[in-house]
Amino acid sequence: MQKKLFISRTVTQVDTTDIDGTGALRWIGNNCYRYVKFGTTVTQGYPVFSAASTVATVTGIATKGASTNLMFLAGIACTDVNLTTAAGATATLQYGWIQVHGHNSTVSILDASGTTYTAGMYMKGVNAQWYLTMDAQTQPLYKRNVQLLEEIATATTTLLAAQAVAAYVNCLD
């Protein structure tokens, strides 16, 4: 098996061409990252989902969850991707890294339930949203999941903006 060497590139780098090979995996410590093609603008910490038609090839990423792809959580975006101004030019495609395994301290979670989220709870994607929320199951609903590593206390009013919290990403299969 041929191995690829990543010399000076970081997981926050965004490219306008497929430099590292779409689908490539990279381990840094106990965290694993996948090189993907982004289909739209995304912000660091946002969950990204594979489009149902591209799950097997890992070539296309849809950033917001949709009712047809919530089970295809691809990972968590490692950096901001702006399809119109990345690298100082207009671009139709952007390539970069998403985290698929390990600890992440910037996962976008929304507590809209009015209950306290405790460490160990599983999070799931939300249709047409940029965040994850509580999964009512005691076990993960889908094979690919994110598990909360810290408590989110109940606010006096429902939070209107997602918070960046620590979680364990488990989207490597």
**Tell me: the pLDDT tens digits for 7-20?**
557 899 888 888 88
Number of structural domains found in the chain = 1
User: Could you report the per-residue pLDDT of 57-105, keeping only the tens digit for each?
Assistant: 555 676 778 888 888 899 999 988 877 655 555 556 788 899 999 999 9
The verdict on residue 67 lying in a domain is yes
Instruction: Give the separation between CA 55 and CA 126, rounded to whole angstroms.
Output: 18
Q: Quick one: DSSP state of residue 171?
A: -
Report yes or no on 102 lying in a domain: yes
- pTM of structure: 0.83
Residue 45, in any domain of the structure = yes
* Model confidence pLDDT, tens digit, residues 127-163: 888 888 887 766 777 888 899 998 877 654 444 567 7
Other CB atoms within a 10 A radius of the CB of residue 114 amount to 10
Q: How many CA atoms lie within 13 A of 77 on its CB side?
A: 30
Q: Is residue 123 part of a domain?
A: yes
Q: How many CB atoms lie within 10 A of CB 13?
A: 14
Phi first, then psi: give them for residue 135, nearest 5 degrees. Answer: -95, 125
The whole domain housing 38 covers 25-170
